[in-house]
């Protein structure tokens, strides 16, 4: 099936195509074994927070970086400080019945006072445990829970997991106070394979990170938590969604900083400042007041309204050699300020949306060969908290052949953690570049409820 293009639609069509983001809110939760290498099982220290987490990109050790597996032995080999001590118990319990991250010694290790971190190789057989000291004592305490044929690699780390979690927990206890300063914590983990706290946060500008480092000193890595609103709000009820389909290969001409897309011409648009009369400008002015403690006074920058629709808007401003982005969100009663962060404009592309399922809307007659408008029900494939994707459906991509009209519809990422109940379908009217003709309409999913 065809994929959506990375960029471009004629500027005259953009107002019809893009609605604003309606981010989804995830319930706070405790992670299971988290923060190991790709495909590995990590330790139970991840938490999530409303309103908007993002995917973690914490660099982790890969299986190829793990130390070579030694010859099995019944006791640890003494090693210089900093080296890895490998232990295999040939007389241990049977490995049968375990899936790899539920071996008895894992929970036992996490209860050691010296426990720092743990991760499991993708092979689900080699386990890596970081301790702050006394490896020999740990092996003696854990060996009866280590199955036969399982190698455990012990190494020394600087911090216990309890120390790391105390740093993380202090941040989340201050979450409401931080939000008043424009800092939104979206998720947090401690005890990762690098023995550091890792926190999803918005914004992640140098000023915001410096503010957090001063307030919470310690081994913390900050990762982008996605653009977010700074207080709860109810988005406006969605009206008719009408999209103009794009032929495969056409240029959308859109840029993004990771949030809402905007026309590339916005970077050269004449600044309007912050004194505009609309509700979106009032939200921007409130935003600038919130961030004075982090950025200083930004009110004198040449702010430009890069895009706006019924669900929100994006403001951009040049500050020296960098761009700043200030998203604002439309509510039923007023507009809400969002997180101000660094903006590196890039083409709006496949990483910004996921493919959605669609089917013909049974509330309308089936399209004919002369139809240039079709009515469909679009269902987001990703977790969306049981909410329809108002403001996030991208222009359908169509490809005409002699016998078929293939159509792909995407949904822009919501930018937040979401629960996964069944997503409702969103009615969408699609305007095609030319009539269907005698072609079969392809790309839909009849299984969508």
Tell me the C-alpha to C-alpha distance, in Å, between residue 155 and each of 19, 260, 323.
52, 45, 43
Q: Which residue carries 């307030």 as its tokens?
A: 215
Sheet containing strand 115-120, strands side by side: 85-88, 151-156, 127-131, 115-120
Instruction: Give me the residues paired with residue 342 across strands.
Output: 324
Nearest to 34 by CA among 175, 164, 184: 164
- 302: exposed, middle or buried (Cβ count in 10 Å: 0-12, 13-18, 19+): middle
At residue 327, the pLDDT reads 94
65: DSSP letter: G
Assigned token pair, 407: 């159509």
Give alpha helix (H) positions in 76-160. 104-110, 135-142
Token reading at 149 = 């044929």
**pTM, whole model, 2 decimals?**
0.71
Alpha-helix residue ranges (DSSP H) falling in 43-111 = 104-110
Q: What is the pLDDT of residue 410?
A: 84
Q: What is the pLDDT of residue 239?
A: 67
What is the structure's pLDDT at 417? 52
pLDDT at 131: 95
Nearest to 128 by CA among 109, 106, 153, 155: 153
DSSP assignment of 328-358, as one string? EEE-SSSEEEB--EEE--EE--GGGEEE-EE
- Reported as type and span, the H/E element at residue 184 is strand 184-189
Residues 6+ apart with CB under 8 A from 237: 332
Q: Which residues contact 117 (CB under 8 A, 6 or more apart)?
A: 43, 128, 129, 130, 157, 161, 191, 192, 193, 194, 195
* Alpha carbon distance 426, 241 (integer Å): 8
**Parallel, antiparallel, or unpaired: how do β-strands 47-48 and 184-189 relate?**
antiparallel
Judge whether 411 and 382 are in contact, CB under 8 Å.
yes
- Residue of 351, 329, 135, 192 lying closest to 257 (CA atoms): 351
Dihedral of the CA atoms 280, 185, 42, 154 (nearest 10)? 140
DSSP run (H or E) holding 221: strand 220-224
The SS3 call for residue 145 is helix
Question: What pLDDT does 82 receive?
Answer: 59
Q: Is there a contact between 41 and 332 (Cβ–Cβ < 8 Å)? A: no
Exposure on the CB side of residue 251, measured as CA atoms within 13 A: 6
Residues 342 and 203: beta-carbon distance below 8 Å: yes
In the 8-state DSSP scheme, what is residue 23?
-
440 burial level (CB within 10 Å; 0-12, 13-18, 19+): exposed
Report the pLDDT value the prediction gives residue 4, as an integer from 0 to 100. Answer: 35
Nearest to 194 by CA among 162, 157, 163: 157
Give me the average pLDDT of each 10-residue run along the chain (449 residues).
34 32 29 33 50 33 32 39 82 85 90 92 83 94 91 93 95 95 92 88 96 95 86 76 83 83 91 91 97 96 92 93 94 92 89 83 92 90 70 85 90 63 83 92 61
The distance of Cα 241 from the centroid of its chain, to the nearest Å, equals 25
């Amino acid at each position: 099936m065809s994929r959506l293009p990375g960029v471009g639609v004629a500027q005259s069509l953009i107002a019809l195509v893009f609605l604003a983001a309606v981010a989804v809110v995830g319930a706070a939760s405790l992670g299971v074994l988290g923060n190991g290498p790709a495909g590995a099982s990590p330790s139970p220290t991840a938490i999530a927070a409303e309103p908007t987490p993002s995917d973690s990109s914490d660099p982790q050790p890969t299986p190829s970086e793990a130390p070579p597996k030694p010859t099995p032995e019944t006791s640890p080999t003494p090693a210089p400080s900093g080296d890895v001590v490998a232990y295999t118990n040939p007389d241990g319990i049977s490995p049968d019945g375990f899936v790899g991250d539920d071996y008895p010694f894992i929970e036992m290790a996490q209860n050691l006072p010296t426990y720092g971190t743990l991760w499991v190789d993708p092979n689900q057989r080699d386990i890596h445990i970081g301790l702050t000291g006394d490896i020999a004592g740990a092996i003696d305490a854990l060996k009866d829970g280590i199955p036969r044929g399982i190698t455990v690699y012990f190494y020394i780390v600087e911090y216990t997991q309890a120390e790391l979690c105390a740093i993380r927990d202090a941040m989340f206890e201050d979450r409401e106070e931080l939000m008043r300063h424009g800092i939104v914590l979206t998720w947090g983990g401690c005890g990762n394979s690098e023995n550091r706290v890792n926190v999803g946060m918005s914004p992640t500008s140098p000023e915001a990170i410096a503010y957090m480092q001063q307030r919470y000193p310690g081994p913390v890595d900050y990762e982008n938590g996605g653009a977010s609103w700074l207080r709860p709000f109810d988005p406006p009820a969605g009206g008719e969604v009408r999209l103009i389909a794009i032929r495969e290969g056409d240029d959308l001409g859109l840029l993004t900083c990771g949030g809402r897309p905007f026309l590339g011409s916005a970077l050269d648009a004449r600044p309007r400042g912050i004194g505009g009369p609309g509700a979106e400008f009032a939200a921007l002015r409130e935003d600038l007041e919130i961030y004075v403690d982090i950025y200083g006074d930004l009110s004198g920058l040449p702010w430009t309204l890069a895009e706006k629709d019924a669900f929100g808007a994006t403001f951009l401003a040049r500050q020296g050699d960098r761009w700043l982005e200030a998203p604002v969100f439309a509510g039923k009663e007023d507009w809400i300020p969002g997180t101000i962060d660094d903006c590196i404009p890039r083409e709006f592309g496949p990483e910004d949306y996921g493919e959605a399922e669609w089917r013909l809307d049974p509330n309308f007659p089936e399209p004919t060969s002369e139809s240039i408008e079709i009515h469909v029900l679009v269902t987001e494939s990703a977790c969306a908290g049981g909410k329809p994707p108002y403001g996030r459906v991208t222009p359908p991509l169509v490809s005409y052949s002699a016998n078929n009209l293939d159509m792909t519809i995407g949904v822009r990422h919501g930018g937040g953690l979401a629960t996964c109940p069944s997503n409702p379908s969103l009615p969408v009217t699609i305007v095609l570049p030319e009539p269907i003709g005698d072609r079969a309409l392809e790309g839909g999913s009849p299984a969508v409820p």
